[in-house]
Amino acid sequence: MLNILFIGDINGKIGREAVKKILPKLKREEKIDLVIANAENAAHGSGVTEESLKELQSAGIDYFTNGDHAFDRIKQAEICYEKFPIIRPANFPPDVPGQGYTLINTKQGDILLINLIGRVFMQPDLDCPFRKFQEILANFENQKLFAIIIDIHAEATSEKISFGHFADGRATAVLGTHTHIMTADEKITGKGMAYITDVGMVGAADECIGVSKEGIIKTYLTQIKYPHVIPESGKAIFGSVLLKIDEKTGKANSIKSIVKFINIK
């Protein structure tokens, strides 16, 4: 059995601190072989930096995915896509920095990790993730893959659920990110694919999806957009799912949500 931990959107310093405190012990307890995390909010809620990725790598994360904030820090993004095991949504235009998928070598065989972004209620409006998935698969039709794991970064639950049905029987796992709220619909399909609409986040637990609640409430009351402030201390939530992949078939045997809370000082 191959044990893979997928961590939801890591949001700011408080999220990085929570990962550093929780992940090493969790890896030992669950005998985790591979850790993947969505890092699009890692640098104070907006994109990635060399420092933020180094910090998360040192905590035990092996590969990173991204989302709509993939190019918020464009100069840093260009460096990070060259130096770190991080991918960005594959349905960005083809001439942007970085890659939309990567091969992860394991003792069981190659795992194809794909990052896609949804289009419903999302900015920017990019290429179709459904068609992009098919294009990527076509590149590997003559290559034996052990498993295929997809991070579908999208707002609408209907789009993520529809994509899960579309990929069922071809992917090993379809894992939704972006909304920062874990859904309670994790399952193994009849075709052996793990699915969850959203893995949740790692960040400030008692705020509005990781952002200080005071400013968000004022924005709703006044319709004036107040700055988003991410607390650096306080109660943090760690949202993730543990996948168990059959060594012989490459299909998912189980998907289990792992949610932990910790106080960050």
Angle between helices 50-59 and 12-30 (to 10 degrees): 20
Give the catalytic positions in this structure: 69
Quote the CA–CA distance of 99 and 87 in Å, as a whole number.
5
Domains of the chain: total: 1
pTM of this prediction? 0.97
Q: Are 225 and 146 in contact (CB under 8 A)?
A: no
**pLDDT of amino acid 145:** 97
Which of 37, 41, 51, 56 is closest to 149 using CA atoms? 37
Q: 96: which DSSP letter?
A: S
Q: CATH code at 231? A: 3.60.21.10
Q: Domain range holding 65?
A: 2-264
The pLDDT tens digits for 77-87 are 999 999 999 99
Q: Which CA distances in Å does 12 have to 56, 100, 128, 148?
A: 11, 23, 29, 28
The pLDDT tens digits for 106-155 are 999 999 999 999 999 998 789 999 999 999 999 999 999 999 999 999 99
**pLDDT of amino acid 27:** 98
Residues 6+ apart with CB under 8 A from 27: 5, 35, 60
